[in-house]
Structure 1
């Protein structure tokens, strides 16, 4: 599992959603922009897949 989180941390897609400073925006911006929603969706799918995979192995 440590390798999974290490590999996930090395993927820079969340950091490069788009150019711009997000220090002044509200949380609604992060939850309404398509590029942010795509990254959030990918993270959720990966986390759910890892959870189901671990659950099936035990």
Structure 2
């Protein structure tokens, strides 16, 4: 689990779907733009895979 946290902390570029200031954007922007949805999907998939892997080791 520490390795997963380390990777998440050391790869901040994954948090940026595209350049630009989102301080004025509505929250729905994050759920309607394709690049944001892809990143959310990748993060969710990585989380599920990590959970399944961790559960399988127990």
TM over 0.5: yes
Q: Residue 3 of structure 1: CA displacement? A: 1.6
Task: Check if 1:36 corresponds to 2:28.
Answer: no
Greater relative CO (CA pairs within 8 A, separation 6+): 2
Structure 2 CA distance for aligned equivalents of residues 35 and 9 of structure 1: 21
In the alignment, structure 1 residue 24 sits paired with structure 2 residue 45: no
Q: Does 2:17 correspond to 1:13?
A: no
Any idea what the Cα deviations from partners look like across 1:23-44, whole Å, max 9, x if unmatched?
1111110001011011100100
Q: Secondary structure at the residue paired with 2:18? A: coil
- RMSD (Å) for aligned C-alpha atoms: 1.0
Q: Which moved more, 1:41-50 or 1:6-15?
A: 6-15
Partner of 2:3: 3
TM-score where L is the length of structure 2 = 0.87
